[in-house]
Chains A and B, each alone.
Chain A
Amino acid sequence: MQRRRSLPLTRYRVCFLALACMRAMPSVAQGALTTPSIMAPASTPAHEIYALSQFVLAITGAIFVVVGGLLAFIIVRFRERRTDAEHEPAQIYGSTQVELAWTVIPVLIVVVLFLTTARIIFAIQDAPEPKTALDVTVVGHQFWWEFRYPKLGIVTANELHVPVSTPSAPEPTYMQLLSADVDHSFWVPQLGGKTDLIPNHPNQMWMDPEKAGLYLGQCAQFCGVEHAKMLIRVYVDTPDQFAAWVKAQQQPGAQDAATAAGRHVFETEACANCHTISGTGAKGTFGPDLTHLMSRATIAAGAADNTPDNLRSWIHDPNTLKPGALMPAMQLSDKETDEVVAYLTTLH
């Protein structure tokens, strides 16, 4: 009897706890500004998924409360007590009506969930590409991203620049997803779901970011040793910023007589086999295009900040920053390394 009386109290406590958790959830889910939370959407596909997820959460949450509550009630109400009679409880073998009821109700729930789901699948996946859309080709590499803008003649890496898209001036970004080697997956949670990059299997996805800013993501399909350091930065620019960025990127690589020695090393050593710097003899395509290296905030697909010190240790031995990266240690002398770094830091 003692236990019974404390039951309402326990119930209040549980309710209170649940309420507190639900209150705390949005703030936890938003996280820090650099947290790529799916609960902080900033693009139409992400918004549609978010709204759908709230609906599904409400239905599943209700099921959880009803069935979980029932189970909790049974655990308290029907547990064995000292005062219980010795004989076995009444044996009940089943009931067709009851079975029918708890078959039909889930069927109805599934119908509702499916119709809602199907609507959003078609809305996102089969959205026609508007004429104003920006085309980007994304190529996944072990372990970095290549971004090509075929209509603009731009090639860059790891940091994607796209324009903000407003209802009055819609300019969504449509991405063609390819892979140069193994499977990868493009995922920037605030801008939309993920889509895989699969060799011999081109995929498409789109986004229309509504607010300028930096959005973070990373590869979401295991692709080898450095899968963890294949990060994505998406810069959503205002129209002016974007136009300026496009203009800068369309220029050939900077020519500075002061760093001609570094350029010479770059062009004559193995660097040129894998990297392109437009306007020079370096035309390799195995590694990232370095024409505007200094316009990027990070190197090695986000593994390190883009500073002269990090560039130096990266050229000396990529394994120090990203063990398993496919770029070899360049075996340059200290002088040559300094010259190359000096040259690279002019590539704005």
Chain B
Amino acid sequence: MADQTFPIPGTLDAGRSRGAALLEWLHSWVVTVDHKKLGILYMVYALVFLLVAGSEAVAIRIQLAIPNNHFLSPELYNEFFTMHGTTMVFLVGMTFIFGFGNYFVPLMIGARDMAFPRLNAFSFWMTAFGGLFLYFSFIGGFGLYGMGSAPDVTWWAYAPLTAKAFSPGHNTDYWALALIVSGFGTLGAAINILATVFSMRCRGMTLLRMPLFVWLMVVTSGDTLIVITPLTAAQVMLIIDRYLGGHFFDTQAGGSATVWMHFFWIFGHPEVYVLILPAFGIASEVIQVFSRKAIFGYPAMVAASVGIAFVSLSVWAHHMFTIGMTSVSNAFFALSTMMVGIPTGIKIFNWVATMWGGRIRFATPMLFCTAFVFQFLMAGLTGIMLAVAPWDWQLHNSYFVIAHFHYTLTGSFVFCIFAAIYYWYPKITGRMLSEKLGKWHFWLFFIGFHVTFDTMHFLGILGMPRSIYTYQADRGWNTLNMIVSAGGIIQAIAVLILVWNMMDSFLHGAAAGNDPWDAWTLEWSVPSPPPAYNFATDPVVRSRRPLWDLKHPNDPDWKYER
């Protein structure tokens, strides 16, 4: 069904023009319900927005490189940092995980497609139109006459700055409506992943034999269902406030600004875990294959993932230590936040134990994953510092926080996404990415990352708050800001190398074959790229590493696994 061609007016079988063939090819992408094609669409979409939001970050850093700079106007700066955050979380992060999830969950559990192919297509296009709508704000409305109506209220959009009185144009409307639309897409994708995993596993694939990436997609999808809902509800209330005279968050009419904060962060904090959990899944796959060892403590890894998902639902108010909660609430949320450190610690120790005694092959995916473990350790430790509520009274909304969450979202999430691109690109396209360019990409990005974000910690300690479009020259922040900006440029160059590598290797890369990494999960048992419907015959598995069993018939996993 998926690749069925539809007649396009003006084309007949005999001697079709090139233009018609192109149209038909494009048409096949628009109408597809194939999980692999939709997965590719998600990933390309995420990559495009990664470049867009990355450019915004570069503009932000040029503006902040020197004090009292006039590169961006305050209005445009506020739009850029709002859009950078919103884009990276909703249009890059969420779409990357559902892209990889869409493509690889069915392959890894031995299924021929997702449970609901049409819902799958619907979800993607909702997400896509949400993103396009968000970016239409730059040119829509008054945009053609000036700076546009892009959202400029920060990605957490605190009330009452979003009320009609303080945000009179359509900036806030674009933000809320675009995220409601893409939110429905996200919910559909999450439901689809859950249904697929619970109903379409191949014979022998018990829940405790699923690859960890699949497990983490399950956990993340469950979390998504729980946390996107309050966000959508809050945004609907916001629109009611703005257009139907509601007073949920309208403080001038007795509404509550803090209720918005609770709604937003009960979404906002678990959202970080929604993004990082699949990254854990990617790291778990890559680290075992490139260490040539089975994952250490698989049941502990699964339990820790589920544990993180549960605990993450009880920590949201650590974003609100400064809003004047009672001392008891502050203590509670300090404790619950610190408790996240326990299951995440277990995961780090298990990765380290997996590498211990292995024969570690530092191909590009493994380079990214090793850097990830190191950076995630650091992110976890700065997270503990921020959980210490009194210290957070100092660090909150400073550049220290920016550094901390970029350690989790760039240093951990994006590093794993890059690892996944290098790891699975051969499966998706049938061609290898250039290792030489890959190493250039890794080292430049790694160095740029640390130059930028290590330095940011110090800026926060020196009292520089976030969200400011410029700063005073006498604060002692000048040199550090220049260093941060330089690191940003290095990262931008590294990402361009990745894009070049992906395009060049698509045409000229070495043929990948079925199983270039000598890996163990089911997706490597089919040709690259996998044929329509993936498996010619339904696979049967007896362990967590079916291809290991196949390659080592005398010493299969199922003899040892518990």
The interface of chain A, by Cβ under 8 A from chain B, is: 28-29, 31-32, 34-39, 45-46, 48-49, 52-53, 56-57, 60, 63-64, 67-68, 70-71, 74-75, 78-80, 84, 88-95, 98-99, 102-103, 106-107, 110, 113-114, 116-118, 120-122, 124-126, 142, 177, 181-183, 185, 187, 189, 192-196, 198-201, 203-204, 216-229, 231, 302, 323-324
Contact = CB atoms under 8 A, between A and B. Distances in A.
A182 B166 contact: yes
The 10 closest A-B pairs by CB, nearest first: A193-B393, A36-B463, A228-B468, A203-B324, A35-B476, A94-B297, A199-B251, A31-B476, A222-B467, A32-B476
Contacts of B391: 49, 52-53, 56
A93 B338 contact: no
B257 A200 contact: yes
B251 A102 contact: no
Given A67-B349, A88-B359, 6 more contacts: A48-B390, A56-B385, A74-B356, A78-B356, A218-B465, A229-B470
Contact of B360 (A46, A78, A94, A118): A78
Interface stretch (B179-187, B215-223, B327-335): B327-335
A187 B465 contact: yes
A319 B348 CA distance: 52
Nearest to B340: A110
A195 B320 CA distance: 10
A220 B475 contact: no
A74 B355 contact: yes
B160 interface: yes
A261 to B, nearest CB: 35
A194 B334 contact: no
Interface stretch (B93-101, B394-402, B403-411): B394-402
Contact of B385 (A60, A74, A89): A60
B462 A35 contact: yes
29 contacts: A36-B475, A56-B385, A57-B385, A68-B377, A70-B352, A74-B356, A78-B355, A79-B361, A91-B293, A92-B353, A99-B346, A113-B338, A118-B331, A121-B334, A183-B159, A185-B322, A189-B394, A194-B322, A195-B322, A195-B393, A199-B160, A199-B251, A220-B396, A222-B154, A224-B166, A225-B75, A228-B467, A228-B468, A228-B471
A198 B359 contact: no
A220 B465 contact: yes
A181 B166 contact: yes
A46 B395 CA distance: 12
A39 B459 CA distance: 12
Contacts of A200: 251, 254-257
Contacts of B158: 182-183, 221-222
A93 B560 contact: yes
Contact of B361 (A36, A49, A80, A196): A80
Contacts of A116: 388
Interface residues of B, number: 97
Nearest to A114: B335
A187 B387 CA distance: 19
Contacts of A219: 465
A74 B298 CA distance: 20
A60 B334 contact: no
Nearest to B300: A99
Contacts of A45: 390
A118 B359 CA distance: 45
B257 A37 contact: no
Nearest to A182: B161
A98 B74 contact: no
B471 to A, nearest CB: 7
B25 interface: no
Contacts of B381: 60, 63-64
A90 B348 contact: no
Contact of A117 (B341, B342, B357, B389): B389
A194 B475 contact: no
Contact of A216 (B159, B297, B475): B475
B562 A93 contact: yes
A38 B385 CA distance: 14
A226 to B, nearest CB: 6
Given A75-B370, A102-B349, A200-B256, A92 B472 contact: no
Given A34-B474, A74-B355, A99-B300, A110 B341 contact: yes
A95 B294 CA distance: 13
B390 A222 contact: no
A200 B384 CA distance: 31
A312 to B, nearest CB: 20
A231 B472 contact: yes
A74 B358 CA distance: 9
Contacts of B299: 94
Given A37-B463, A49-B393, A102-B346, A201 B476 contact: no
B373 interface: yes
B444 interface: no
A198 B165 CA distance: 16
Contact of B353 (A98, A185, A187): A98
A117 B318 CA distance: 13
A300 B154 CA distance: 23
Interface string B252-269: 101111100000000000
B458 interface: yes
Interface string B365-382: 000001001100110011
Contact of B359 (A49, A80, A194): A80
